[in-house]
Amino acid sequence: MGEGQEGYAKEAMKNAFLVGGWVILYNCHLGIEFMAQMEMLLGRDVEIDPDFRLWLTCEPRALFPIGLLQMAIKVTNEPPKGLKAGLARTFTTIIDNDFLEKHDMDKWRKVSYAICFLHSTVIERRKFGPLGWCIPYEFNNSDLEASLTFLDRHIYQAETLNQQPNWDIIRFMVCDVQYGGRITDEKDFELIQAFGAEWIDEKILGSAFAFNNESEYKVIDSTEAQRYRDYINSLPSFEKPTLFFLNQNADITFRRREGNELLMTIQMTQPKESDTGTGKSRDDIINDYVIDFLSKLPPDYTEVDVRDIINKLAGPKGLDKGFKVPLNIFLFQEIMRLQNIIGIVRKTLIDLREVREGNIILTPELQDAADSIYDSRVPYQWLYDANGTEISWLDTQMGTWLSGLQDRNAQLSGWLKERPPVYNLGFFFNPQGFLTATKQEVTRQNQINPPGGNTGEVWSLDDVEEQTIVRDRNDKAGQNDRGVIIRGLYLEGAKYAVKEGGRLDELTGKDTFVDMPNIFVGAKMRDKNAKGEYEIGNYLCPVYKYKQRTDKYFIFNVKLRCESPQQNQWKLRGVALLCQKPL
């Protein structure tokens, strides 16, 4: 299917109707509009030979007609669930005796097994959601086969030249090229490299080696594929999260995520017209919600009044006031975006009341909003504009979304009166803009009054970077004249021990995340001689706006102190700071 193929598909189907032929349509996700016509083409009024069969291949698409799905017998081809099942499939379909006997050296067989183990691990890690991979990549057997083919040729070349295989080349080709070629997120690319550093290394050749120190998972050596199959069958049926380098509580995150998806599916399939059991009709309940929401909406902001207030708002020490101060400009932009949301929400709620009173007609947009409010979900038009661009903050529950509206309004309205000592980073529409404005302010302050009186040091915005310092929980947060203090971040995958100068530590109990202490954010001259995080004992912890860890929601990195050899450990743990509570 695709552009211009609908006519050929329809003609082939009509001919097969008469003679009982079979028709297969490939890539039907490229012809969603034609799929919508399929129910009519296969309707009861059409004479179809009983032997006729129609096959459709399609990628998952939300817009695929549900009626057509209900008519069809569904067949899916997915990787087997569980690392054990994945390994068993690999040693049944790809690895055989001939493959294992290609090279008469244990390094060939052990590295091959390690790559197969890595393949099953990266696939199974997807079940942990953003904690496993920022983006759930579709790794498949072609990645594994390409990696094993390269390993075969590399070892053959090494044997021909009487040399030893090069671990760096193997690691680069497998992790950076074969699997890394699918990866689009920078943090995920660093993750696959960290896997390679751990499992594609000379240490796997030792007899005492076990994957992630899990004694059940060793690297065996044999020229018989059946021995591998027997060994795989003896592995535990359920893998601990620690095998994937995740904290033991990651399984709680997975189960909770799975449960939430099930409940959401049940909620979405509930009938829209039913008895509520409270004596009130569905429209009465929606109307009660509308009245309640209207009473909780903040008052509207007037642009002229906001400009007048900001013109008088002082800046930090050494700078002017009003719109000459970068953070004051940022404040104005945030208030205008908040007013846009308040206006949209108020208009939707008022229109729903007008529909109930019969003053206006019920449009599809208002019907969707009413359905969402009844289900305690956030209406689409409150989250996105007509082009699908995000205009507010993403949240699945109406209650927490409205609380977020009130919290954002409280922070911004308080800022209009006086610059706050602490800012909640998650309450901004554009947190990156907030950090950029902060760097601009610090740069200007240092141009006027260089630190330490060093007049020879010229500060330029292009030459500075964020400076982050974690505050002790008992510190009384106060205004810093050359930077800001932020709060409202949640650390997922680890905890931050403020003792001993502060450092990352393992989570304890059943917590999957912890509140992060306040963080001072300033600016400093970029060290052009710096060689990266590994030499200074810091983990560059990514900060994301939402639970979804993609480049779109990435804000910046915060340096968190850790033991020097542990940077890879926290990277494999999926440790990150989130502005949204990861429930």
- 127: helix, strand or coil: helix
Give residue limits of the domains in the chain: 6-71, 83-251, 280-420, 459-583
Average pLDDT over residues 85-94: 92
Per-residue pLDDT reduced to its tens digit, 540-564: 999 999 988 988 999 999 998 887 6
Average pLDDT over residues 418-433: 94
Q: Computed from CA positions of residues 160, 161, 164, 166, in that sequence, does the dihedral angle turn out positive or negative?
A: negative
Average pLDDT over residues 569-583: 88
Average pLDDT over residues 15-43: 85
pLDDT in the model for residue 486: 94
pLDDT in the model for residue 478: 47
According to the per-residue pLDDT averaged within each range, which of 27-36, 56-65, 224-233 is highest? 224-233
**473 within 8 A of 517, measured Cβ to Cβ:** yes
277 — pLDDT class (breaks 50, 70, 90): low
**Range in 199-203, 264-268, 395-399 with the lowest mean pLDDT:** 264-268
- Nearest-Å Rg of the Cα atoms of the chain is 29
Q: Pick the residue with more confidence: 523 or 193? A: 193
In words, the CATH class of domain 459-583 is: alpha beta
| CATH architecture of the region 6-71 | 3-Layer(aba) Sandwich (3.40)
User: CATH classification of 83-251, choosing from 1.10.3720.10, 1.10.8.720, 2.60.120.10, 3.40.250.10?
Assistant: 1.10.8.720
pLDDT in the model for residue 455: 56
According to the per-residue pLDDT averaged within each range, which of 36-45, 65-74, 310-319, 369-378 is highest? 369-378
Residue 487, beta-bridge partner list: 424
**Range in 17-21, 315-319, 367-371, 390-394 with the lowest mean pLDDT:** 315-319
> What do you get for the CA distance between the two ends of the chain, in Å?
40
- Residue 425 in this model has a pLDDT that exceeds 90: yes
Average pLDDT over residues 250-256: 81
**Range in 88-92, 213-217, 420-424, 454-458 with the lowest mean pLDDT:** 454-458
- Residue 132 in this model has a pLDDT that exceeds 60: yes
Cα–Cα distance for residue pair 185/544, rounded to 1 Å: 13
pLDDT in the model for residue 487: 93
According to the per-residue pLDDT averaged within each range, which of 37-51, 370-384, 446-460 is highest? 370-384
Q: Which of 214, 265, 270 is nearest to 239 (CA)?
A: 214
pLDDT in the model for residue 255: 82
pLDDT in the model for residue 479: 47
Task: Write down the pTM of the prediction.
Answer: 0.80
Helix 398-417 and helix 303-311: axis angle, to 10°?
A: 40
Average pLDDT over residues 281-305: 92
Which residues lie closer than 8 Å to 342 by C-beta, 6 or more apart? 297, 298, 300, 301, 405, 409
Structure tokens given for 362: 């019920």
Average pLDDT over residues 287-297: 92
Cα–Cα distance for residue pair 132/576, rounded to 1 Å: 11
DSSP secondary structure, 482-545, as one string: TSEEEE--EEESSEEE-GGG-EEE---TT-SEEEPPPEEEEEEE--TT---GGGGTEEEEEEES
Average pLDDT over residues 415-434: 94
35 — pLDDT class (breaks 50, 70, 90): confident
Q: Pick the residue with more confidence: 107 or 270? A: 107
475 — pLDDT class (breaks 50, 70, 90): low
Cα–Cα distance for residue pair 407/298, rounded to 1 Å: 10
Burial of 523 (0-12, 13-18, 19+ CB in 10 A): buried
The distance from CA 278 to its chain's CA centroid, rounded to whole angstroms, is 39
The distance from CA 568 to its chain's CA centroid, rounded to whole angstroms, is 20
Average pLDDT, the chain: 86
Topology, domain 280-420: Substrate Binding Domain Of Dnak; Chain:A; Domain 2 (1.20.1270)
- Residue 480 in this model has a pLDDT that exceeds 60: no
Structure tokens given for 34: 């034609």
% pLDDT > 90, the chain: 45
pLDDT in the model for residue 535: 47
pLDDT in the model for residue 175: 95
Whether 83-251 and 6-71 are alike in CATH topology: the answer is no
pLDDT in the model for residue 65: 85
